[in-house]
Amino acid sequence: MKPTKTLPNSQHNRIDLVLEEDEVDAIGDEHISTSVDTPLRADAFELSDDAKMALIEQHFKGIMETLGLDLTDDSLKGTPKRVAKMYVKEIFSGLNPENKPDVALFENKFKYGHMLVEKNISLFSNCEHHFVPIYGKAHIAYISSGKVIGLSKLNRIVQYFAKRPQVQERLTMQIGRELQNLLETDDIAVVIDARHMCVSTRGIRDTDSATVTCFYAGKFENEATKSEFLKYINLDTEY
């Protein structure tokens, strides 16, 4: 019989989730996502940020001690607190809906009817399977249905959904669906070109490969419109 794992479900309740060892490894190594929405417990927001940081600090201190690190050393003794703050306030701040960017829409008074493209948006996220970085570029386009959005808000939307444990396919779809809802149009395109540290620093250790994912909806499902968008994001626009 193959070994199994029992995993905790929450601080208040515990269920036994039995996975074969090779299935646990396969999900991580193949970067498989199980849902479009970020998997969150019903009680995900019952604790304050300060309470979460206090708990993470203690848990991470335990990890470091288990690894044999000397936490009395000046360089290490503040690390659990720093990691806790980084997790809650920075790299995973997109888990908290209170951090969702406020987005104001404006009437398209000048009747701009062509696609608007925001390319090369810097993207930093973390793989949910190994909690190591994903980094790359996002490219977004939309065709206005009567409303337009400030350019910087497109960057903020990308950053909001990236700041959570992610799978690249899910991240791409979350950005696309959010823009559809905000702009009240189906005419959205999203392409993400990213590198995964879980591929380059562990497992296969391939330092050259990149992953490209896309979301095309509405008019962008038309091949001519899609080709126009791809042409724009491949233009050399550096000055």
Catalytic residues, by residue number, are 127-130, 168, 196, 198
State phi, psi for 116 to the nearest 5 degrees: -110, 130
Q: Which amino acid, residue 151? A: L
Three-state DSSP class for 160? helix
State phi, psi for 174 to the nearest 5 degrees: -65, -40
What Å distances lie between residue 220 and 27, 33, 78, 111, 189, CA to CA? 31, 25, 49, 19, 6
State phi, psi for 127 to the nearest 5 degrees: -65, 130
Three-state DSSP class for 124? strand
Listed residue (189, 110, 198, 96) closest to 142, CA to CA: 189
Listed residue (177, 188, 195) closest to 140, CA to CA: 188
